[in-house]
Amino acid sequence: MENIIIVMKRFLNVVMLKKLIGQNFSSAQIATKLYISIFTVDTHRKNMLQKLNVDKKNGLYNFAKENNLA
């Protein structure tokens, strides 16, 4: 049961991270809010940019707005 709780917490953290990225928070702000490393935030941001084929940080924000994700 403890493993399920750990996995759920991690999943919710990733969901929140993506939401905050979509709301155009800085990596430092997100890292502080979620108690994670700035490098972790930057890695997720980089992966999202690649997967969505978006070229800049503001591109993620615009993508989120256009698709009602933020």
Tens of pLDDT, residue by residue, the chain (70 residues): 677 777 777 777 788 888 888 888 899 999 999 899 999 999 988 888 888 888 776 777 777 778 776 5
Which CATH number fits the domain that encloses residue 6?
Answer: 1.10.10.10
The predicted pLDDT at position 31 comes to 92
Cα angle: 63, vertex 65, 70; to 5 degrees: 110
Q: To which residue do tokens 């917490």 refer?
A: 9
- pTM here is 0.72
- Residues in the chain, overall count: 70
**48, 63 Cβ separation under 8 angstroms:** no
When divided into structural domains, the chain yields a total of 1
Domain residues for 62? 2-66
